[in-house]
Structure 1
Amino acid sequence: MKKPLRADAERNRRRIVDAARELFASRGIDITLDDVAAHAKVGVGTVYRRFSCKEELIDGVFEQRMQEMLATAESALAAEDPWDGLVLFLADLFAGMSADKGLGEVVLGTDEGCNGIAQMRERIDPYVDRIVMRARDSGQLRADVQVNDLFPLIGMIGAASEFMKTVEPDNWKRYFTIVLDGLRSTPGAATELPGRPLTAEEISIAKADMHRRRR
């Protein structure tokens, strides 16, 4: 009797995770466990027995996506040309965000309650730092660009992708190209950047504020 029950439990868990993945991709992470239960066609109690809160479910869905992001970062850092490595990492990230609204919200969000994602971010961040520094040291990335400048740029491309998704889903590439032209160092042609890059503390404050507004 117990073996079939374990198999049923695993099937229900997979159904819940698959349903959550679809909802997160189409609507973002601002959904409820009740929404997931309805989409998975299981009882709400079944969802709560597998995941005590939405953060656990976010972890369950996106930890694998973060593993994939780490693999891309490793490939980007290994690229022969530092600029190509930076473009590879950003292009893969934006392609993922254009297909999955929740991914962008996870990347720009806090890790509160999501221990698996937090651990993956700690592994990914040093790679991103090195990808940016390598492109800058090669002279191809503007000398005044810092790694924390990427967060607002990610938000910009994410907003453009969301704006156009029902009309021209892949048109984020147009604006990504404009961003790349702005990041590239062109001797004698670059305009001095106004403002300043945010500090790590300010990035955390901005993420926390966005997190509160989405809840």
Structure 2
Amino acid sequence: MKILLLDGSPKAQHSASAHYLRAMEAFLGGQQTLLWRDARSFDGAAVARDLLDQDALVIAFPLYVDGIPSHLLVFLEAMEKSLKEHQAAARVYVLCNAGFFEARQTRLALEMMKIWCEKSGLAWGKAIGIGAGGMALAAPIGSGPFAKLGKELQTLAGLVLAGQSDHDCFVEPDFPRFLYKTIAHFSWRSQARKNGLSGKALHRRHSYVPPARHAPAQAPSNP
């Protein structure tokens, strides 16, 4: 079976998206032909041509402002244009991780991906919305707080290999929400101090002054 793994993260290293795809690679087993691509350095139209020879597409990306990251959106638009000319038979599976603890925050981005699949003529397989992406690298997938996520990814790998579809699901780590927020706030304040900002500066309200509007130039009157 031929499977294309697409990393939609803007990060070149240490991204949660790549971390989840590596876990999928392990669950898919070593007898599959896996083709790795990323939306940072590859052209969308070229990857669409790669997809013509694949049985499945697994996309992983982070949630940006309740939606798809802009660079990935441009990439997908290029893929869509190419796929409308050359139809692919691959089934699409999506992993979207949010920095929010609540996994359901990804639901709008997953709906966007479904619309993209429909417009591109691709079959929808399944999506997993993943919460607390900020702690993705804190423990191995399949153990500790990520035991549930490991089971869901293993189930997803089975669907990919069988070429089947299923209902989307949302997964959060077995970890206290309040503690996740506490650690996140500590990390943000630490980064702020390293960049010369105080704790008070983070909460300071800044007034917005709109740019001045210039009056339109008057046409010269006839002499």
**TM-score where L is the length of structure 1:** 0.29
* TM-score (norm. length: structure 2): 0.28
Structure having the larger proportion of residues in strand:
2
More helix by percentage: 1
Larger radius of gyration: 2
Q: Which has the higher contact order (CA 8 A, sep 6+)?
A: 1
